[in-house]
Structure 1
Amino acid sequence: MPSLVRRAAGMALIGGSLALSGCTVITVAAAATSVAVTAGSLAVDAAVGTVKLTGKAVGLAADAVLPSGDDNK
């Protein structure tokens, strides 16, 4: 009888560790996906900010070089 209890406990332990390892894999994959999405979002934000700054710089340079239409009044 004790060997039957040991066997059942061993099977429960093995089954539990397999179930937990599956949860761990899913948790790690979800965390990695979250980090990748956050990094991608930050990269897009940085690119948009760079384009906005470049556009403002080009606009300021054009305003400095090109004559304005206010001189004709």
Structure 2
Amino acid sequence: KHSGAKNFWLSTRREGDRFVVEMRDDGRGHAPRKETAGLGLDLMRTRAEAVGALLCIRSAPGEGTSVEVRFKS
């Protein structure tokens, strides 16, 4: 909605003992910044950790955004 993306990709794969789910788009992206007062990313990380997963978010202006969750198999 806010990203201006025209496309969205969802992929899954296995890497060693991990199951990886990746979501990415071709939207505006954003510059890295310090954590804000919002809880969105903190809650996502907390939920991932609660199930033994790792959460990685990558983004840069004009590059879109990628969210990767790595679960132990």
TM-score for the superposition, normalised by structure 1: 0.22
Which of structures 1 and 2 has the larger relative contact order (alpha carbons within 8 angstroms, sep 6+)? 2
Name the larger-Rg structure: 1
Q: Which has the higher helix share?
A: 1
